Amino acid sequence: MGWRRITLCGLAFSALSGAQTLNCSFQGYKALDGLKAEMRSGSLDLTWQGERGQTLRATLGVEGGQPVVRELAVEKNGKWSVLGRGLTPEYQVTTGRRRISAQQEAPLRQLGIYTPEVIERQKWFAFWDAPLNVPGHPGSNAAVDLPRKPEEIQRAWATFQISGCQVDTDGARLEANFPGVSLGLFSGGLRYTVYRGTNLIRQEVVAKTDAPSVAYEFAAGLKGFGIGDSTRLAWRDVARGWQHYLFGGAVNTDAVALKARNRVEIVESGAGSVAVFPASHKFFFAREVESNLGYNYYRKDSDAAFAVGVRQADREESFKPYGVTDAVWRSRVNQAREFEENFALYNAPPGTMQRMAVYFYLDSGNAQATQRAVMAFTHDDVYKPMPGYQVMVSHFHFHFNEELTDAGTIDHEPAWIPTFRALGINIAALCDFHADSHPTDTGKIRLEEQRVYFEGSARFSDRDFLIIPGEEPDATFGGHYMFLFPKPVYYTHAPLGRPGATGPAAQQPYTENIAPYGKVYHTSSRETETRLLNDEHALMWQTHPRTKSSDGYPDAVKDQPHFLSDRFAGASFQSLPVDQSQKRLCEVRCLDLLDDMNNWAGPKYLIAEGDTYTKSPEDETYPQLDVNYVKLDRLPKFSDGWMPVLEALRAGNFFVTSGEVLLHDYSLQGTGGKRTFVADVDWTWPGEFVELVWGDGKTTGREIVSATGLAPFSSHHYSIPFDASGKKWVRFAAWDSAGNGAFTQPVHLQ
């Protein structure tokens, strides 16, 4: 009887649907081959040419103010198959209060610039914040102004009062906009976007809030998928094994968080498949670890219908501690617990239009075929090899030497090594001696730990994988910074009077020979650290600039000799924070700094970093990592040193990418005032724009060229004329519709 009641209700709803009419404006619409919008029987039909000979159709309507996806269908070989019918979008938002962190507060106070205006600006760069963690745990890294209060947190489902829509053509895509969405503190509209040349359809709420200090997360999906004899939900688990659910269990009260590999779940039926997934990088905010928190969900609403979508968790799930000895085990347990205070969510500054997107991929194939098609957008979550380039990542606190010592063998292989190898990474620059070991010791304790660090790096480096034993000091230059030497170098750094420092640093000579280590450097000032960099031909750069313990840097030292030196490469790039109103990754904190540094001084660059801790093959590392493609014909051997890597970084011969957008054969051509920037760009997702950015030493300008008319899974040659008169430097970048991108380093003009 229950099944019959639901069926009759569905028939009544279908009959009612046919009687309702949706009014849409087509003022911004232009019909194109393979891309069509039209009104049919009171509904809006979007029809577009997809991949592998498939045509897709989405039929959209409104019932009592509620938007309805009346049909999702795919056509192949002249036959249409319906993948979903009578679906409704669902959105939930959770909001909390954004706070600046104590880690940011300390350097700002030391610099004497901890003012209300600075706090208001810098709180939007918070990393150590967990707005949903009530009451919170005060500490040197945690947010300020704790405890948090339960009433700061609000949860709300979207409500709709849709009366019409607007259809627009933008290049080779169609957008259908439905104003009239309320979502907790946010208000705005619902948008569907389809793209010629791919089976993608994007559903997003585009909305703003006027409330101050809002941090948020969202869940987004479709409900109303029918349960039939051939219906199943399929996904790969974290071990890459295929799993499925046939909806034979009880009705769910809450959504089930699905820890699907690669962030993809697939609704499969006899007609075909619908994959559900988030944007591959922009959906993810920075954390200390990349454990899979379940970014997909399903919910069985009745014996006849279910919902699917994407979601974020409310809190961190600590990594699995490791350790043979009790001391290491306890240290890792404490660190894992500390990470609970780092779960920052997204930023929503007042008045910014936040885009809360979920992607669907319609396909005539089964779940396995659809999974392969979806994974093409991220090259199967692998950084694609490019001839003449090596893929480099930097800044990881793996406690490598400590773990090897604890294991009692140099042949112990930590889990991060196969994780990086599987991602297609060739060069990993580590940062031991941070929260591990004895970074401020000036004697044999640290030197012996360095020895293990160097020997372990040599042991697991190979012809296609190089481990560089770097370090992130915070001794004399201000903030945190990266030291990268071209070979193993024994040194200590502990300025006189530094809390926790051991050993008579001020009395030690700059260099001495200590068996069995050989030459050892001792630094205790900016002058001796600078001398060390010069003597060993090393590089340094500011890590996590303008946030965390480097808040206020490198701005505060832009006139200092070490910053102006060519040993100071620039700063690091990490997608932190995430603001869904921005079309670029780390648009303000990172890219604005890149432009500022090059206006201040000579060539300065952004080096992609991870700044994360332990990781395992089951983690979702790819979406939370950006990499450097370093221009090198071959990978140096560890035993020969890695000076070619440093020379390429120092010369700016690399580009940064999230992986989906790749740059080939880019260069600045011409002389004098008439120049041309040329670049070949590859992308997988539909494109958004490319840009040429320049500075004159004081201000920054740009030219943006739309890429919305270009096909996904393709390449394009760009040749952009550039008037170099009065300009100091220029750089190039390309961004896709999901917020992924790649950028070159600035070229300074002669």
Predicted TM-score (pTM) of this structure: 0.95
Residue keyed to tokens 């949903």:
132
CB within 8 Å of 715: residues ≥ 6 apart: 664, 680, 681, 682, 683
SS3 category, 513: strand
Backbone angles phi, psi at 67, to 5 degrees: -70, 145
Q: What DSSP character marks residue 441?
A: B
Q: Which domain holds residue 727?
A: 660-750
Among residues 321, 343, 377, which one ends one of the domains? 377
Q: % helix / strand / coil in the chain, to the nearest 5?
A: 20, 40, 40
Shared domain for 471 and 568, answered yes or no, is: yes
d(CA 490, CA 513): 10
Shared domain for 397 and 249, answered yes or no, is: no
Among residues 377, 411, 442, which one ends one of the domains? 377
SS3 category, 466: strand
Shared domain for 363 and 485, answered yes or no, is: no
Domains of the chain: total: 3
Shared domain for 703 and 615, answered yes or no, is: no
CB within 8 Å of 525: residues ≥ 6 apart: 476, 495
- For β-strands 627-631 and 354-363, DSSP reports them as unpaired
Residue keyed to tokens 């060539």:
603
pLDDT of residue 497: 42
d(CA 92, CA 96): 14
In a domain, 734, yes or no: yes
pLDDT digits (tens, 9 = 90+) for 629-664: 999 999 999 999 999 999 999 999 999 999 999 999
Shared domain for 392 and 366, answered yes or no, is: no
Shared domain for 627 and 691, answered yes or no, is: no
d(CA 419, CA 306): 35
Q: Which stretches of the chain drop beneath a pLDDT of 50?
A: 1-19, 496-503
CB within 8 Å of 675: residues ≥ 6 apart: 668, 669, 721, 722, 723, 724, 730, 749
CB within 8 Å of 568: residues ≥ 6 apart: 540, 541, 562, 604
Residue 603 CB neighbour total at 10 angstroms: 17
For the record, the structure tokens of 575 come out as 């997608």
Among residues 651, 674, 695, which one ends one of the domains? 651
pLDDT of residue 246: 97
Shared domain for 278 and 395, answered yes or no, is: no
Shared domain for 492 and 633, answered yes or no, is: yes
pLDDT of residue 750: 73
Shared domain for 644 and 685, answered yes or no, is: no
Q: Please calculate the CA angle 344-615-737 and round it to the nearest 5 degrees.
A: 55
Amino acid at 659: G
In a domain, 322, yes or no: no
Shared domain for 394 and 529, answered yes or no, is: yes
Shared domain for 365 and 434, answered yes or no, is: no
Shared domain for 360 and 490, answered yes or no, is: no
